């Protein structure tokens, strides 16, 4: 029977990595859910154990952050940011810098996937208006959103998981990883203007675009107030999930916006995906496969941080970063300074997403949105920047965290 369970786990992980199965209309969420149910039916894990593997703090935090994101989006907040960028960008280099800065900062607060979903059409409109190559701007958007998201516990799904598992406070997490994110964003800017020198001349430009955006100011003020309350609560030590749930609840008390409109915008498939993965990785532990996998993956370079950085990068690109965190979390206790190891795991699994076009959901959102507009961001074109960005930022992050590792 154990071989049946191992087969189910293997098929599920391959499906999650690819994002689909041939000839079937299944995405990562449905693959994870079906795999979890199959493991329960095969006896690999009991239904009671399956329920216990699901981390409700993570699910509640994700749902709450998505409610905040929807309200910001509907209020026109992100459109207002784009108008501001257009007003002060006078040269291609400045435009690239502003795009990287805002994508990074906003991703740290509103999830990287949300930011690229909103900003990709804006970037395409800007490039079209300037009659310039949109590819370097698209690469900058995707990679900056990934790198910026490492700065906070709420920046991306894998950080949310690590925040829940580790118990590291919001402020402490940000204090360690915010400097890494800032240096990483500067590194992206320098690398892209170097690789695309012809595109980033110092000549000023005049960009005329329609900036008619529907702004719902009462909703925007309420959204900003709720987000500030959430951040203040986190800074003062309120558990991250509770602070986010409180902010989301405040936004749901409204006379102006129908609840249905908010809930139809929420990515429910992401919650299903997480729940299914919790059960799949829980089955790996109940079957006693964790130690065997760790021995298979582990690299003995003589440096713990380098070992974990390499393992995290490989695992994130083979099975995706969220499953990688769920799989690798069990080995954290074997290291001497678990806090720094958790932070390294967050950094490495996030930065690893920039390696290839398939490395993160944010990358795929950018590529697919551009494709619908007739702009093709090829795997090889992305890889030319992705490899250098990933290697550079991983080295920066590992060196920084090694200072605090004792």
288 close to 330: Cβ distance less than 8 angstroms: no
Confidence at 213, pLDDT banded by 50, 70, 90: low
Tokens of 401: 């965290």
Instruction: Tell the burial category of 403 from Cβ atoms under 10 Å away from its Cβ (0-12, 13-18, 19+).
Output: exposed
Sign of CA dihedral 254, 259, 264, 267: positive
Alpha-carbon distances, residue 102 vs 140, 156, 233, 367, 386 (angstroms): 11, 16, 24, 19, 20
pLDDT of residue 136 exceeding 80: yes
| pLDDT tens by residue, 152-190 | 999 998 999 899 889 899 999 999 999 999 999 999 999
Question: What values do phi and psi take at 24, rounded to 5?
Answer: -125, 140
The arithmetic mean of pLDDT across residues 340-363, rounded, is: 89
Higher pLDDT, 140 or 206: 140
Confidence at 224, pLDDT banded by 50, 70, 90: very high
Q: Look up residue 204 and give its DSSP letter.
A: -
Alpha-carbon distances, residue 171 vs 6, 68, 152, 236, 239 (angstroms): 40, 20, 8, 9, 11
For the entire predicted model, the pTM comes to 0.82
Half-sphere exposure of 365 (CA within 13 A, CB side): 19
């Amino acid at each position: 029977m154990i071989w049946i369970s191992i087969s189910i786990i293997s098929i599920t992980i391959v499906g999650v990595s690819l994002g689909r199965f041939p000839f079937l209309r299944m995405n990562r969420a449905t693959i994870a859910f079906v795999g979890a149910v199959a493991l329960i039916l095969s006896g690999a894990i009991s239904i009671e154990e399956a329920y216990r593997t699901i981390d409700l703090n993570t699910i509640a935090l994700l749902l709450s952050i998505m409610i905040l994101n929807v309200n910001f989006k509907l209020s026109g907040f992100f459109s207002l940011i784009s108008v501001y960028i257009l007003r002060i960008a006078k040269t291609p280099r400045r435009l690239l810098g502003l795009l990287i800065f805002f994508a990074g900062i906003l991703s740290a607060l509103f999830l990287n996937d949300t930011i690229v979903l909103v900003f990709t059409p804006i970037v395409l409109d800007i490039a079209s208006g300037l009659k310039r190559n949109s590819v370097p701007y698209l690469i900058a958007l995707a990679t900056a959103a990934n790198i910026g998201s490492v700065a906070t516990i709420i920046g991306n799904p894998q950080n949310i998981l690590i925040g829940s598992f580790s118990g590291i406070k919001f402020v402490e997490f940000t204090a360690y990883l915010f400097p890494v994110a800032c240096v990483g964003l500067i590194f992206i800017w320098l690398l892209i203007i170097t690789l695309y020198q012809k595109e980033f001349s110092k000549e000023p430009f005049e960009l005329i675009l329609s900036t008619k955006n529907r702004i719902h100011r009462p909703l925007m003020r309420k959204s900003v107030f709720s987000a500030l309350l959430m951040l203040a609560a986190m800074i003062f030590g309120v558990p991250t999930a509770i602070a986010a749930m409180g902010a989301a609840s405040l936004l749901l008390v409204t006379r102006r916006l129908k609840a249905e409109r908010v809930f139809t915008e929420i990515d429910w498939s992401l919650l299903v995906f997480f729940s299914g993965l919790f059960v799949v990785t829980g089955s790996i532990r109940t079957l006693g496969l964790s130690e065997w996998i760790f021995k298979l993956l582990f690299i003995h370079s003589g440096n713990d941080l380098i070992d974990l950085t390499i393992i995290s990068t490989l695992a994130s690109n083979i099975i995706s970063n969220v499953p990688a965190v769920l799989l690798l979390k069990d080995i954290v206790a074997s290291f001497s300074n678990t806090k720094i190891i958790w932070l390294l795991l967050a950094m490495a699994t996030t930065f690893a997403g920039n390696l290839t076009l398939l490395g993160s959901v944010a990358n795929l959102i950018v590529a697919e949105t551009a494709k619908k507009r007739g702009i093709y961001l090829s795997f090889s074109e992305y890889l030319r920047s992705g490899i250098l960005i990933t290697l550079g930022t991983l080295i920066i992050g590992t060196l920084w965290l090694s200072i605090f590792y004792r």
